Amino acid sequence: MRVVTPILRIILLLMLVSPMVWGNGALKSVLDLTPSIYDVKGMGQWSMGSKSGQIRLVITRDSKRDQVFLQWVVWRDNQPFSVESTVGISELNREDRYSVTFIRREADDSGRQIVLGLEDRHTKEAMRAFIRIKEMGLYQCHIQR
């Protein structure tokens, strides 16, 4: 009779478990995220011609500022397939001074908008950014002080 050492048991267990863990595409996607991604939020659906998918808001954070981006994600076969377009919210990103304090989706008669709570890192002033999606790659942003 052969004795299985503890190290060999661990190796065998890892061989059995690893396809379950690493074969999971969702887990791999999460593990592949860069540490600077602070928040990701689905913001609604889009369609243009034969393509459609989801709009998502992506916030990155470092010691100096938050940066905000919109992405148009193509869905195929009922799952995310590719990123069609990514745009930075230049009104926020060029200032080098804002932290995002909250994210909210709103809808009114003229469509949907994203409301971001902002804090100026220098003055600590609270503000709001109202971002309205126009079409793929296009948005309108108004900052209310």
82-105 pLDDT, tens per residue?
A: 999 999 999 999 877 889 999 999
- 23: pLDDT strictly greater than 60: no
* pLDDT 10s digits, 99-124: 999 999 988 777 778 999 999 988 99
* pLDDT 10s digits, 37-66: 999 998 888 899 999 999 999 999 988 789
pTM summary value = 0.78
CA 3 to chain centre: 50
Query: Domain spans of the chain?
Result: 1-32, 33-144
Q: Which tokens belong to 85?
A: 């377009």
